[in-house]
Structure 1
Amino acid sequence: MDFKTYFTGLPIAERESFAQQAGTSRGYCNQVAYANKQIELGMADVFVAVSGGILDLDNLPLTDRAAAQRIIRERVAEPAPAGITAEASPVEQGA
């Protein structure tokens, strides 16, 4: 579900509550919903959490930087192919 559909589907009191729980204002949320405002990855994560998982990152208007960060995050989270082990960094080796 996209943010506009989700947010405008909430009663006004719940919109205010959503914004407060997200640490922002209803006006900011309105900008995201109506003015095509793009958001950073941290705020997108908060929106997903506050919505109880109804929203997801695929349907939020991420900035280019946030989209790039998301790709990096997902690559880092992928398990290494079989037979490849991570090498310890110099810090982990006690250097």
Structure 2
Amino acid sequence: MTSGLEDLDPVIHAPKRLAAMAVLSTASSVTFPFLREHLQVSDSDLSKQMTALEKAGYVSVAKTGRGRGATTSYRLTRAGRTAYQRHRRALTAILGDS
């Protein structure tokens, strides 16, 4: 039996990114304002966290409109969903069923 440590994903493991992945795993897509409010982080912090997830290939970004009316939304990629599920299994293996 493995400890699960080898399956922890350092990109996802950061608390704010893990929380964002959890939210994204339950929705087809979410907007920047929704995610910011849900995670209770600043615009710059959310942007930084989501950029890390996008660079890892875990999140895709869609922008609609321009200027003040622009909307940014995020969705998990197939690779992101797979990585998140693997990370969750690893956490469960480490923490056990208690």
**Higher relative contact order (CA closer than 8 Å, sequence separation 6+):** 2
Asked if Structure 1 and Structure 2 have the same fold, meaning a TM-score greater than 0.5 normalized by the shorter chain, the answer is no
Highest CA radius of gyration, 1 or 2?
1
Provide the TM-score with structure 2 as the length reference. Answer: 0.29
Higher normalized helix content (fraction of residues): 2
